[in-house]
Amino acid sequence: MGYMTDRKRVEGLGSAHTGTHHFWSMTVTSVALLVLTPFFLAVIGPLLGATHAEVVASLGRPIPALVVAAFLVVGMHHFRLGVTTLIEDYVQGLARKIWIIAMTIVSYAIAAAGIVALAQIAL
C-alpha cells in the first residue's frame, strides 16, 4: 500500500472542470440583477393598475423598454443556471439530461416571448 495524497486520491472523481465558470456566471448575473432590479421596479411599479394605453406609452419609450428587456434576459439566464444546478443535484440518470434540456428550452422561450412582446409594444 503506497502513500497517496488527498489530491491524488480524488483526482478524476467527478470534476466536470466547469465549476469556476458556473460560479462566475451565477455571480455576474446576480450582481447584474442586483443593479437592474431597482430600475425594473421603478419602470414597472408605477404601471401597476394603469390602463393599457399608459402601459404601452411607457414601454414604448426606449429606456424603459431596454431596462425591462435587460431584466428579462439576465433574469432568465440566471434562472437557467440556478435550475440546472438544482436538477444536477437532485435528479439522476437520463431524467437529469431531459430536465436540463427542457428547462433550458423553457427559460429561453420565456425570454424570447418577452422580448417579442416588448418589441411589439415598443415598435
Mean per-residue pLDDT for 27-56?
Answer: 96
Half-sphere exposure of 100 (CA within 13 A, CB side): 16
Q: Which cell is 24 given?
A: 462566475
Statement: residue 103 has pLDDT above 80: yes
Separation CA 54–CA 16 (nearest Å): 50
Q: In the numeric block, which cell numbers belong to residue 46? A: 408605477
pLDDT score for 19: 72
Domains of the chain: 23-122 (1.20.1300)
Our CA dihedral for 61, 70, 107, 59, rounded to 10 degrees, sits at: -10
Residue 2 has pLDDT above 90, yes or no: no
CA distance 108 to 117: 14
| Structure confidence by residue, pLDDT tens digits, 50-78 | 999 999 999 999 999 999 999 999 999 99
- pLDDT over 70 for what percent of the chain? 87
